[in-house]
Amino acid sequence: MANAGRGAPAATVRTLGRLERLPIRRMVLVGLTAAIVVVVGGGITKTLTLPAGQRLSWSFWANLIIIGTALGSIYALIALGYTLVYGILRMINFAHGEVFMAGAFASYFFANAYENSGFLDRHPFPALAILLISAIAVSVGVAVLLERIAYRPLRNAPRLVPLITAIGASLFLQNSFQGLFGAEAQGYPRPKLLAGTVKFGKVSFDKMDPIVFLTAVALMVALQLFVKRTRTGKSMRAVAEDREIASLMGIDVDRTVVTTFVIGGVLAGVAGVLYSLAFGQVNARMGFLPGIAAFTAAVLGGIGSIPGAAIGGLILGIAESVGPYLLLSGVHVPSPFELKGVVTFSILVLVLIFRPGGILGGGEAEKV
């Protein structure tokens, strides 16, 4: 009782030193920004001021933009699978690139058989329809199996657990397809109707480029309308907002989650066929780099946002196509396009540093 009348001991106030008062993070970001501006600006300046005989023509740049738009459209379709699953379950499905790869492989066997029989050139539209149906069926099947076997039992686990499971599922699918079908790339046939290039003046581009872009735009618009206006889409948005409240309101959460994986599988299957037709080959590792690029596109646009995935995919595709030549041609790098992966990972790192929520996101990634 001797201390009962005494007041609480005074809190010790420590004065921060000069170094501790400095905004270290802001200074690092400012320094990093200045370094990026110097490096990027210097590379662009060197490329654009090359002598007349070494300067790249405007038609070459236009061709790169068209190629990048087509590539970005494929990235956007794959990125939608990432963004839908993240919006519903708040997890990154790193096996989604293998869902894309599985659909491409499934359609390859039909395409190869149809080319050998001549059906691919005699009846290109029915053949292409069968290729799309087979790719979609296999991609949807793989996506649903992943959800049911790998992810549903871990739905209430800490976030790191399903993330590790997704990486394990990705490696399992890669090595399974490599063991079953070989590690070598297989040539993917294209019907004569879609072979060749189109010329507008000095600009020429592959016939598949506008087809890829228009198909991707149609699917992205259809998905946005589906999510905004249909009953299932409203259920998806409700589950994305709060799963527990949605279940109390009578929404079947499991069915909604499966529907989300089905939609992602459909988009991945279509992307697999478009990618294979555009680039002419399939292999067991083909889902890894496009999957990472699509994840980067989703983060860039604002993961959880459908328009963000579309915008991020197009920006990333054009950056991958144009960026290496724009930055490196002036310093005479012999094969700039081989460094497009550096562009992808650089954009991913910079977005995570400067704007983790993405273009259409805020401090936290936007939900579906």
Task: Give the domain CATH number at 76.
Answer: 1.10.3470
Averaged pLDDT in 10-residue chunks for the chain of 368 residues: 52 54 72 83 82 80 91 94 89 92 94 92 93 96 94 87 92 92 90 87 87 94 92 90 86 92 95 94 91 91 87 92 84 76 84 84 48
Helix, coil or strand: residue 196: coil
Tens of pLDDT, residues 308-343: 989 999 999 999 898 888 888 777 777 777 777 888
In angstroms, the CA 257 to CA 244 distance is 13
> Could you tell me if residue 264 is inside a domain?
yes
> Could you tell me if residue 363 is inside a domain?
no
Cβ neighbors of 79 (< 8 A, separation 6 or more) are: 294, 295, 297, 298, 301, 309, 310, 312, 313
Name the residue range of residue 114's domain: 56-354
Residue written as tokens 């309101």?
249
> Could you tell me if residue 27 is inside a domain?
no
Helix, coil or strand: residue 212: helix
Using an 8 Å Cβ cutoff, are 293 and 75 in contact?
yes
> Could you tell me if residue 20 is inside a domain?
no
Predicted pLDDT at 366? 42
Which residues on adjacent β-strands are paired with residue 204? 199
Predicted pLDDT at 13? 56
> Could you tell me if residue 35 is inside a domain?
no
Q: What is the domain count for the chain? A: 1
- Which long-range contacts does 38-44 make (Cβ < 8 Å, 24+ apart)? 40/327, 43/326, 43/327, 43/328, 43/330, 43/331, 44/326, 44/327, 44/330
Helix, coil or strand: residue 9: coil
* Token duo for residue 9: 């001991």
In angstroms, the CA 270 to CA 23 distance is 48
Predicted pLDDT at 365? 42
- Note the pTM of the prediction, 2 decimals: 0.87
> Could you tell me if residue 279 is inside a domain?
yes
Per-residue DSSP letters for 172-186? HHHHHHHHHH-SS-E
Q: Is 59 exposed, middle or buried (0-12, 13-18, 19+ CB in 10 A)?
A: middle
Predicted pLDDT at 137? 96
Predicted pLDDT at 49? 81
Predicted pLDDT at 329? 79
CB atoms within 10 A of CB 165: 21
Helix, coil or strand: residue 259: helix
DSSP letter for 3, please.
T
> Could you tell me if residue 49 is inside a domain?
no
> Could you tell me if residue 7 is inside a domain?
no
Predicted pLDDT at 332? 75
DSSP letter for 330, please.
G
In angstroms, the CA 3 to CA 153 distance is 56
- How many angstroms from the chain centroid is the CA of residue 6? 64
